[in-house]
Structure 1
């Protein structure tokens, strides 16, 4: 038996073999991969595993070889690759029936749904993230949360935060830490913090890798390509993690979102939250702020940036955002 790299993009035959192997294992072949290995018995594929960023995924073993401790060989090979790249902390998706196997390999469960178990290994971990959140607790009772990418921060975002702040003692405003946007995470965080500085009951926090990230909800960043069924499974996982593990740390009872007329994936997410939260967390969907009859969106702002139409951008964003846009476009 030997492990070797599978070049899925270079060899359609290998990709076909890999896809069929995963489907036979009741897994969906995932195109969002950086690195894939195959475990072979001579030329027969008997196991596989992949990496995307610091996430282990698409791990499967031929059932007739299940007792030969091959899973640990695949996981170890993937861990070594991650460490070679520089990761000391990584995530794993698996089916509930397999979670004990991965637990025995040193992974810790973060959250589970009917379809997925989300696990991690390494540090800093989820417990460390919750400890950091706890430091920002205001001690109030009527608390709300908003999670936003703010790519970039617009007057639509500001309207959502302002309305939430009117209805809550404290608003915990989470800004995505994921680096998969036009504006980097540090810039987006600073623009949001500056944009809401006048709202004394708003606390701006990073999401880390535990809300709407490549780990919890990768389809969010592939809105034009994501399959609805996959997006829904991921959205439920993300919503469950928020409801069961994060909201309680900050005594959050309400989550505010804007209505979503533009993105099918974001609308799937809103619906998944509504269903997952049930009666335990209130989901408030606010109409989008409009200017001249048109809803403000970050997507629209980015399109106007490409056109260098600064006159059209200016009414849609706070001054600090506009200054940053001018800076970005003049690089």
Structure 2
């Protein structure tokens, strides 16, 4: 009676039209980035669909008159089987809070939820494992927190950490684990560690999947092409997760952020944190610093790095980051030289 098949949304205009109509009926955004989509058909009619990007289930929708047919369960089982074939063993999903019972029956566990979004996971390692990792890092009964991408670690980032370290007995700096930046997670973590090594009350941690990640806050990585409403909903989820689940484990009472004159998404995030934290968690927003009249920006630094503009890099970066990137530039130059020699020798 029903058949399930893959949807090639970029290649099949009719499939895309039917899919987008079904999602809009469920008030689900059609502008998601997806790696795989499947649909359930009755005859030629698409009556249910589900997708994933990386290990995150998205865009799950069933036509209203078929919602008693257990099609959502069939879709999720199909998607998880596909993910296992890709050697994925840890899955996340966004869904409506009203769907909680369905996904719990499929083995998903709640991480956090707002009025509009339920965030769940299945597989290992779990959110509880991440909280256990944090608990082992706890060093005091009162601390501040900073979450940064550090892409790369600039004088602005260093100023933020130094101010927090001056005003707090202990500071936890969370570096984004998400590997979707120009500099790798390994490089960014190393730059932060070098840049705060002189501060004895600072501990550097990774965020895992649970702070500003593709799972909790995907629009953060699409700052130039996202909707304010969508960013606000995801920022609320991320801020609530930090406030209710992460901050208590480390006794974090205060979070430091920089103000944001350039990115609408980051500005929305700051405003949302202010609202969600309320009086329970203090949000300290510090103004961006300027060097020789120029506001320090990681975007400017990345451009200077690509252009090998040593003078600008030396002005905007702490010595630790400058030296690290200089090592990378030299290493890159050596690799390019080796490659050119191989080509010239016909190797």
Whole-angstrom distance in 2 between the partners of 1:223 and 1:139: 35
Q: What TM-score results when the alignment is normalised by the length of structure 2?
A: 0.93
Which aligned runs of 4 or more in structure 1 are off by greater than 3 angstroms?
Answer: 327-330
Q: Is the 8 A contact 1:6 1:37 kept in 2?
A: yes
Instruction: Name the residue aligned to 2:107.
Output: 106
Instruction: Name the residue aligned to 1:326.
Output: 326
Instruction: Name the residue aligned to 1:14.
Output: 15
| SS at 1:150 equivalent | coil
Instruction: Name the residue aligned to 2:229.
Output: 229
Instruction: Name the residue aligned to 2:206.
Output: 206
Deviations 1:198-229 (A, max 9, x none): 10110100000000000000011011111111
Question: When the two structures are aligned, how many residues end up with a matched partner?
Answer: 330
Q: How does 1:6-155 map to 2 (within 5 A)?
A: 6-141=7-142, 143-155=143-155
Instruction: Name the residue aligned to 1:277.
Output: 277
Structure 1 gaps of 5+ residues are: none
| SS at 1:67 equivalent | coil
Q: Is the 8 A contact 1:7 1:36 kept in 2?
A: yes
Instruction: Name the residue aligned to 2:248.
Output: 248
The Cα of 1:255 is off from its aligned counterpart by 0.4
Instruction: Name the residue aligned to 2:301.
Output: 301
Whole-angstrom distance in 2 between the partners of 1:82 and 1:202: 38
| SS at 1:138 equivalent | coil
Whole-angstrom distance in 2 between the partners of 1:37 and 1:309: 47
| SS at 1:81 equivalent | helix
The Cα of 1:313 is off from its aligned counterpart by 0.8
Q: How does 1:175-190 map to 2 (within 5 A)?
A: 175-190=175-190
Q: Is the 8 A contact 1:30 1:58 kept in 2?
A: no
Deviations 1:263-287 (A, max 9, x none): 1111011111011111111100001
Whole-angstrom distance in 2 between the partners of 1:195 and 1:240: 29
Q: Is the 8 A contact 2:194 2:321 kept in 1?
A: no
Whole-angstrom distance in 1 between the partners of 2:290 and 2:94: 39
The Cα of 1:12 is off from its aligned counterpart by 2.6
Whole-angstrom distance in 2 between the partners of 1:13 and 1:306: 42
Whole-angstrom distance in 2 between the partners of 1:322 and 1:10: 45
Q: Is the 8 A contact 1:3 1:40 kept in 2?
A: yes
Larger radius of gyration: 2
The Cα of 1:114 is off from its aligned counterpart by 0.8
Instruction: Name the residue aligned to 2:338.
Output: none
Deviations 1:104-141 (A, max 9, x none): 11100000001100000001010000000000101232
The Cα of 1:309 is off from its aligned counterpart by 1.2
Whole-angstrom distance in 2 between the partners of 1:191 and 1:246: 24
The Cα of 1:13 is off from its aligned counterpart by 2.6
